[in-house]
Chains A and B, each alone.
Chain A
């Protein structure tokens, strides 16, 4: 028995050195379908983003259209839309990142205090539920809340003796509504993320802290948060990398694409969609789309570099 194990172990080192070309070939064969997929659905569109520098002609396609330099970008940034969509996208995403981390960590800490298994599962399941419905379904819920004549909020206002509100023409409540909707949909997922991290923390650290007389708050800020830092950082980098990418469903369907609300609800993704599918303005949508992709890439690299300087262990690459 031991001899056999010994053999296998020797075999291991041998194989490492002499993976035959036939084996390499077979392993390569396994990767081919996915490589083809990546080429067709990721890499060719990457080159296709040169469309932003072209005067797109439907008959000529991406490759056949004429180059036009930075004209599309000039067109985009000369319009009033550019400032609006940039401001909204960055504003909402910054808030979503911060709230995602803060509320996720808080709920995870709360959940960790619960010891009853059934209760843990009940809380988890109910908080996770919104994650599993699409924004379209949420849009129907939003209608139920905001409709002028029959919506729940206006019904409530009327019962209190207040005048019903035209929700879809007043821009003021919408930042709050959108932020709330986002938190509502992501809270379960974020909580689970950090809860998983919490369970991985070595319990002896807490015991030692308790012996030293550390208070709950001290334990949270001196042990829990530092131990969660790797998870928080990765999510932060990912969040920063996606800061130019807005959740289309949220911004398109919750405000029901009402033009009167664009000043606070229009983001890059809804703008691209409208220009592409509704008004057919390829110039501005391709410029916005290219801008979005390149900024995303630069931000991920930048954020990662900064974090590498602070603490190389937390960096993503």
Chain B
């Protein structure tokens, strides 16, 4: 190899390594703080590399497991119901509009597309869902608004378009109805893209805290992300009011920094563990071209 090539290679690797490290380093703050005792925090403050390995925060959470477990349960419930229902109805829709011989194909594609470029806005949606549908503090409000997205429909449509029409037609010659063709032939053939969309949706649901923040004001039925939001809000509230009250506010009830970060680890952990194995599905899901045409 020529010297110039080697230099180029080193240059590329160093830059990519730097970007990668910058991307990962902040997560070290969470992990190392969750492993630091309260004493250690008072002494050293936050750090990237842990000064000690202390499991007090996790022990505390283990003792008060109920809240965490119910939050996990809620997150899992929302993610599984929402993903299953959403993927099912979106695949049905996407398959129908992918059929060139379907009469309403053009109209329905536009019907879905238009929702990508125009929306009623936060306030109108909020008023409609909370005042007219009466879904405030209802667990279904976490599921329903995120169930369908035009973007996912278009990715599914591209995959359905790639189905050889002969397969469908030979099934029809054999007397299959359209519904039967969809459930018996199309769905099994589209397993990969359905898995991709499902994963994208699971992640969306798992990481969603905004919906809870808008439509929830009670602590029960909170998902793991909303639980984090509540911890963050109470910490900020105490901090903002500590000055006003002359520092006399009772911070005893607040979780310590270590416990806060340990909750973060528990919220992020499951996703971080599974994510590397499913990365190729995410890569497949990123298809901007799908929106076209």
- A positions within 8 Å CB-CB of B: 7-9, 11-12, 15-16, 19, 22-24, 26-31, 33-35, 37-38, 40-52, 56, 58, 61-62, 107, 110-111, 113-114, 119, 121-130, 132-141, 143-145, 147, 149-152, 154-155, 184, 187-189, 192-193, 196, 230-231, 234-235, 238, 241, 248-249, 253, 256-257, 269, 272-273, 276-277, 282, 285-286, 289-290, 292-293, 296-297, 300-301, 316-317
Contact = CB atoms under 8 A, between A and B. Distances in A.
Interface string B37-48: 000010011111
Interface of chain B, main secondary structure: helix
A41 B144 contact: yes
8 contacts: A27-B178, A31-B97, A41-B147, A145-B46, A189-B286, A192-B282, A231-B288, A290-B124
B126 A276 contact: yes
Contact of A133 (B92, B207, B229, B279): B207
B271 A188 contact: no
B166 A8 contact: yes
A55 B286 CA distance: 43
A140 B214 contact: no
Interface of B: 8-9, 12-13, 15-17, 19-24, 26-27, 29-30, 33, 41, 44-48, 89-90, 92-93, 95-97, 99-104, 108, 111-113, 115, 117-128, 131-133, 144-145, 147-148, 153, 165-166, 169-170, 172-173, 177-179, 182, 203, 207-210, 213-214, 225, 228-229, 232, 235-236, 257, 260-261, 264, 267-268, 271-272, 275-276, 279, 282-283, 286, 288-289, 291-292
A147 B46 CA distance: 9
Given A38-B115, A126-B20, A293-B121, A33 B279 contact: no
Interface of chain A, main secondary structure: helix
A253 B230 CA distance: 12
A301 B116 CA distance: 12
B132 A187 contact: no
B132 A62 contact: yes
B225 to A, nearest CB: 6
B30 A134 contact: no
